[in-house]
Structures are given as structure tokens and as C-alpha cells.
Structure 1
Amino acid sequence: MILGLSLGHRTVREAEHWLAMHVTPLGLPDLVACTHLVTAPYPHVALSVAAATDRLTELPDTPLELREAAERAAAEHTARRSGRAVRYPGVDRMVGTLTVGEMLAGSAIERVVVLGSATAEPDLPLDTRDFVRPEWRNGELVLVAMPHHTGGLAPFEVPNPTPCCADH
């Protein structure tokens, strides 16, 4: 079952917090929960939640004015076309430094690509920074990584990004 939700979260952090408080406690081992940036009817973050259970129906209903955004999020997740995965099988093991091969073997992530390059080699070390957010791309759950100062890789998305224009 894949459920789309749009509850008007204004930021990704707010949406992730809501997922942690309301979806993660359901204890679903096959859970894949994603964020989706949407623009209509106003800019906000919609969610898609997938698991092989009817327990997802326990989650709140999307308000009428946001249903189109929720339906779009569910459709994108169903097609495995877009969505940034926050919860997925193995996410709890994505801590510290792992090789790309260990990451692939220990999680639902299907591929690691280096920004502006090709698929990462399995023996490359990857400093997870304890923050690994893959995304659906062409039917696969893909982590985008970048070169790290230690000589290996790190996820492209950082845990606490500096807001645009923070210095002025």
C-alpha cells in the first residue's frame, strides 16, 4: 500500500519530524517514507508512505485543498520516479563509515552515484554523517554522493545545511 499525505508542512525538517512522531512508531519493517516538494496550492512538503499493511489507514486524512499534492506524491512514489526517502529498510544501519558495498547490502538503497560522475565502486568508503537520504530515480532508490575530504565519499545532502543568504 502506498499512501500520499499532504498536511501543509512548510519545511522538509518539519515533515521529517512529523514522520518520526507519527509513522516511524508504527514499527513497519518494510516502511519507505518519502518527502516531495510541491508548489500547489502553495509551496510545501507532501509525503508518500509505503508498507505492506493496512495500518497506514490509521494516518490522518489529507485536507481537501491538499489532496492533489498528496495524490501526486503517491503516484510519483508508486512509479518510483521521485521522492526523497527518509525512512527505508536499513536506514538505522546507515551510521558511521561504511563501504558503498556494505551500504547496498544493508539497506534498500540500490545504487550510489557520485555527483557529476558514474556509479560508485563497492569498495569506496562512505562517511554517512548519520544522515542518508536516497531518492527515487528511474525506478531505483539512489543515493547521490560527493567526494569527501577523507578520500572517500559522503552523501550529497548534508544534515544541517546553511540557509541561503544566512550571512547577510
Structure 2
Amino acid sequence: MGPALVTPYTVTVDAGTGDLRGADHLLQRLAAELDLPESTFGCTHLVRDDRPRVAVSLTLPSERHLRTTWARLTEAGHGALSAGPPDGAGRAVLYPGASALTGTMTVAELLAGSAIDRVTVLGAPGEPDPGTPMVTRDHVRPQWQGGALVLAAAPAAGGTLVPFEYPDPTPCCADH
């Protein structure tokens, strides 16, 4: 299993965020405000109840980091806090190596330089060739699947791949 699923050092923050973009910004703001270590995993989690929203979790490298982060989150009033992740299927925004995934790199470079365990290509069997260029669009959001951090990619022009999640999607019905 991946580190973000087996560690006891996770806190979930439910700030009532309504969408993934807002949750991404919250995680990035928390990372900066709380000076989180590079080894932190920050994930988004869809909460499906009578009030659908996106919660975020922070998985930290140690109990000391968890205690400090929990105290700072409480002091700053960022939302309701709970221990542990809300589920095992988080979408990673913060993870080791995430900040270096910019521009174009090979699949092998992406895997070697980050906590991502595997790349899958939609509609294709198996994993892509390690030498395949990946155009990151500076927006790489892998998901936890079966204890592994997996990036879903899609084929793109010129034999390249792109992360399946688009960085700035057009909202549904934007032209209505």
C-alpha cells in the first residue's frame, strides 16, 4: 500500500469547499501557510452526503508534524478536522516531486522524479513505454488506487501523453 494510506499521521480538513479547483487552492494555501514538508501528501476527497463537497486530507511524515499541523489548523480555523483520511481513494495534489512535474518529460522521468507509482493510458492495455513523452501542462493529479498512486493519461498529438485531468476545464453549460 502507498504511504498516504498506511500512515497514522493524517488529518482531514472539511472546509465546505464546493469544487476540486477550490480544494486544490486550499491545499496549496495550507502547504504554504503551514510550511508543510515536501514529503506531505495532500489529497482531495469527494464527500457525498446531504451536502456534497470536497474535503482535503494531509498525510504527514511523523507524529510531531501531525500535532503541529493540527494545532495550526485549529488555530487558523480552516474547517472541521478529523483524524485519518475520509476514504482510500484520494486525488493527490501535494506529493513528493509534484512541484517538479512541469513541461514535457518522459514517463520514466515522471515516475523516477515523483511519488507516482504507475501511469495508465485510457483505452490502452498495459502501461505506456517509459520513453513516451508526457506533456504535463503543469497539472498532474494522480489518484490512489489499490494502495498505489496512479496517473491516468490520455493520448495526445505527436505520440505524446497528457494527464487525463485538464488544468482549466470549461464549466458545464458555460455558454448558456
What does residue 114 of structure 1 align with?
121
Paired position in structure 1 for 2:42: 33
Aligned position for 2:57: 48
Task: Give the structure-2-normalised TM-score.
Answer: 0.83
Query: What secondary structure sits across from 1:132 in the alignment?
Result: coil
Match status 1:136 vs 2:144: yes
Distance 1:127 1:3 in 2: 32
Mapped to 1, the partners of 2:110 and 2:151 lie a distance apart of 10
| 2:153–2:163 Cα contact (<8 Å) kept | yes
What does residue 175 of structure 2 align with? 167
Matches within 5 A, 1:1-168: 1-25=9-33, 26-52=35-61, 53-54=65-66, 55-57=68-70, 58-60=72-74, 62-63=79-80, 74-76=85-87, 81-117=88-124, 118-168=126-176
Deviations 1:124-163 (A, max 9, x none): 1000001100000111000000001132100000100011
C-alpha separation between the residues in 2 aligned to 1:41 and 1:23?
Answer: 29
Say how many residue pairs are matched: 158
Cα deviation digits, residues 94-150 of structure 1 (max 9, x gap): 000010000000000000000122222211100000110000011100000000113
Deviation at 1:75, TM superposition (A): 4.5
What is the TM-score of this pair, normalised by structure 1? 0.86
Q: Percent identity?
A: 42
Structure 2: segments with no counterpart, 5+ residues: 1-8
Gaps of 5+ in 1: none
